[in-house]
A and B are shown apart, each in its own frame.
Chain A
């Protein structure tokens, strides 16, 4: 039987059956969420459930987009995520370059301390960070979100980029040095352009984690004008009966940029994961 055509067809059939079943479990909740976002409140929890909304309505989207500062929340999320991601990538790529290209006293020690930041999860630090933000007058402000998002993503990005920089032949650096290029020029004109796949991967991860961050924003932001999307969406639940249609319409609007970023960068992203996280 081994290698015969019928056995191979059977195994392929089984493979696809398993994959399709799994994929359905992954996707049906999302499809159902899309469906509910087009339902009026009276139809969100009917029994049996409605898979195709009848009557379908776009009211939830209209309501999400027009009321409760939704545009403001969206803008806040964009501002915070874009600034935090850019600064985090700049600062951590500089650190990564120093670790990858220089020998200096304290190199091991600093790197190990940085590793500590990878192991201790963000939630463990939320209490002292809250006190610190209070002392620095960063509570209830977008800079308060940005600064801590940058600090929180430094360790992982440095780790990822350092590995990539080290895979770039040092001879290129040395050749540039002979030509009189200083360290900054070598970093900016040589290392960064060559590290594009790793930078793309780090950008996606960092943007995602800032865009989706919930606990810290929930803790330090009080003023509605300073809310970001994750906290705002959670507030859309309302006081009494949850407005599920509205919640999911808002969620879907918030998810769209993320899915676009993911689909656009997918090629880089998988490359970076492969090159970065696992030794080939």
Chain B
């Protein structure tokens, strides 16, 4: 967050990533590249800023406000101020901790595989060849398919007499082929994580493919001439060049990991007995099944804070590692 918004990154050219700071251009209106003309920029901004303020910023503020109340959705009832009670309740709520653990497990077991496998596929597809676009499309297919469709598809594949049990049992003989995947917490989480990885590899592959275009070819050749093996070349040449892409992928995947909702809702509905609830399914249930909007808001605020802190820590770590090349 800090890196993304630091000072003159606004004038940087790239999108989605922090770039090397450029000198400020403001104040050099006629020789510089920007215009200074009174009201005009505000007229350009007005429609978007108004929409954004009403539909995004105001709800952000209201989420925090609601989390301090026993919020009543019915017009006539008055909402009661509770102070920090909703937060204390969350702290003492074992089911919240269970859902947070599940979210954390999902994040831990989907982010690293997506990065490693996505990078491997990108490296395999780096060389231009007639088949490259074809493979790229195949790996990207799950990314562009809706979460609803792939969640239902995986629910079907992981059904008791589904394709997964057949493959593992009768084809590979690794299990008895009678696992009730979605009926138990850990096996259900395996199925949900498998979906997350399967759907996400194509996305990180695409970002890494774009990043790999910035690997200096001369440097790679020079390293080969010097006798560096594949792994040494990867570490010394490729990795530093794709470091910004790596930062982007890691940050986005971690945020996305904590944002898991649709796949859990459709594959298990949080069941059995709420055992596979993640924070967002629990929040959703509190708000829209039990109409406890205040507690739901508190859960959303807590999750936002966790994601925010983790993102800031990641950006710091990456900055330390890469010194001046970022931010």
Contacts and interface: CB of A to CB of B under 8 A. Distances in A.
Interface string B126-167: 000000010111111110111111101110110111110010
B94 interface: no
A119 B213 contact: no
Interface in B94-143: 117, 120-121, 124-125, 133, 135-142
B55 A183 contact: no
User: Is the contact region of chain A dominated by helix, strand, or loop, or is it mixed?
Assistant: helix
B250 interface: no
Nearest to B303: A124
Interface residues of A, number: 105
Interface stretch (A54-62, A64-72, A144-152): A144-152
User: Is the contact region of chain B dominated by helix, strand, or loop, or is it mixed?
Assistant: helix
B83 interface: no
Interface stretch (B59-67, B84-92, B181-189, B316-324): B59-67
Given A26-B198, A237-B152, A19 B125 contact: yes
Kindly name the residue among B45, B153, B266 whose own CB sees the greatest number of chain A CB atoms within 10 A: B45
B49 A23 contact: no
A147 B15 contact: no
Contacts of A175: none
A25 to B, nearest CB: 7
A26 B244 contact: no
B4 A115 contact: yes
A277 B207 contact: yes
B137 A119 contact: no
A169 to B, nearest CB: 8
B33 interface: yes
A262 B229 CA distance: 38
A44 B5 CA distance: 52
A170 B144 contact: no
B49 A49 contact: no
Interface in B271-312: 280, 283-284, 287-288, 293, 296-297, 300-301, 303-304, 307-308, 311
Contact of B145 (A47, A121, A170, A258): A258
Interface of A: 15, 18-19, 22-23, 25-27, 29-30, 32-33, 36, 44-49, 91-92, 94-95, 97-99, 101-104, 107-108, 110-117, 119-121, 123-132, 134, 147-148, 150-152, 154-155, 158-160, 162-164, 166-167, 170, 173, 177, 183, 187, 208, 211-212, 214-215, 219, 230-231, 233-234, 237, 242, 244, 247-248, 251, 254-255, 258-259, 262-263, 266, 270, 273-274, 276-280
Going nearest first, the 4 A-B pairs with the smallest beta carbon separation are A163-B15, A151-B55, A212-B146, A170-B33
